Amino acid sequence: MIQITSKELNNREPIRFGEQTGTLDLYDGLTTPFSSDVVVLTEDHISQIEDFVELSAANYSNEATLVQLQYGLPSLVTRVDCTVGVDGNILPYEMEDSPSGQGITDVLHKAAGAPGLKQILLGHFEDMLDTVPTVIVSNSRSHGTDDALIVGEDRYVNIGHNPDEIRTDSPVVVKAIPGRIDSREPYMRLRSQAVAPLVTEGDKLYAERIGLLRSVSSAADLLRDGDNLSSQVVKARLGSMALGVSIYLSAEDRKRFGKSGTVTASRLERDLEAYKEHSGALVQEFIPPIQIENDQDRTNAILRVFTLLGRQQGKITARAIGGCYVARNEVLLHGASNAVSGAILVQ
């Protein structure tokens, strides 16, 4: 096992890291490649991640959910997907407001000999709600989530249920598909009990407000270096994970980071039009992932760090509790079957 601090990572010089140790059994027959190598977040990086979450949450769209009405928060748990720049600072990609992956991360932490996230998350729910929420997976989704590993099977409603038969007075988290009305509509009567967004899940308006992304309405608005497109990411205004994300790399960056998972210039323009018609389109300068090297040739990695949201003396507070890194050959990084994951710890 290799243990390194997050300050040793960057997006320019590769570091030997993320060697696959084996596979972990998760849920519903799902397994994932696993690395026993561990990242420990430095104090500076913890503060930078927490500052980003607090700023993002303060600029989030309001929705009439339980957690918004009671605490003025978009969610109780968020996840920051980020990298480390050449200057050694955290560079965020975005904040997930109803994140999956908590259960998988708990398994990864325990496999690495750490306590895990489950008790921290359950303690936060008890502190804020006096109970643990029920997680309901929308029938519009094609598969379940890993949330039962945290809240327990008795507080987890997977796909295949009848929404009209759900009767609960407890707080809920509805795992719908961002931007899909049909995915959330059967559960709208539960919005006043929700402790994560339902209508505004995956809304990136906060990122526009803080200057992380900017609106783009046509190909003329794309980022350019002279006459050529520069490396950039176009995203749907409403979406999550790898849905509604298109990465274009310049010829130079394709040599550095590979072209797998990227789009051509013409495809970028077509995706832009599709995103614009769906919910609007946003553009972001391409921020290179962390560069690593291992025997599986997984060369690109990002950090995914969970935070707990609360309020103290009227101010939004965020607390980073750890997470996981994800590494694969592609520059579009998420929990795909060819991606290896490992634990990120906080001291």
Q: pTM score, two decimals? A: 0.95
Whose CA is closest to 306, among 320, 289, 290? 320
Non-local (6+) Cβ contacts of 23 within 8 A are 31, 32, 33, 34
What distance in Å separates the CA atoms of residue 166 and residue 46, rounded to the nearest whole number? 39
Q: What's the Cα-to-Cα distance from 143 to each of 7, 131, 139, 156, 173, rounded to whole Å?
A: 36, 26, 9, 13, 16
**pLDDT of amino acid 240:** 62
**pLDDT of amino acid 166:** 95
**pLDDT of amino acid 26:** 79
Tokens of 37: 């190598």
| Domain interval for residue 242 | 3-346
Number of domain units in the chain: 1
Tokens of 187: 């559960």
**pLDDT of amino acid 241:** 54
**pLDDT of amino acid 3:** 96
Tokens of 333: 């990084």
Whose CA is closest to 260, among 300, 302, 304? 300
DSSP 333: -
**pLDDT of amino acid 242:** 61
Q: What is the DSSP secondary-structure string of 48-67?
A: HHHHHHHHHHHTSPP---HH
Non-local (6+) Cβ contacts of 145 within 8 A are 100, 103, 135, 137, 175
Full pLDDT tens readout for the chain, 347 residues = 999 999 999 888 899 999 999 998 877 788 889 999 999 999 999 999 999 999 999 999 999 999 999 999 999 999 999 999 999 999 999 999 999 999 999 999 999 899 999 999 999 999 999 999 999 999 999 889 999 999 999 999 999 999 999 999 999 999 999 888 999 999 999 999 999 999 999 999 999 999 999 999 999 999 999 999 999 999 998 876 566 899 999 999 999 998 988 999 999 999 999 999 888 899 999 999 999 999 999 999 999 999 999 999 999 999 999 999 999 999 988 767 789 999 999 97
**pLDDT of amino acid 347:** 77
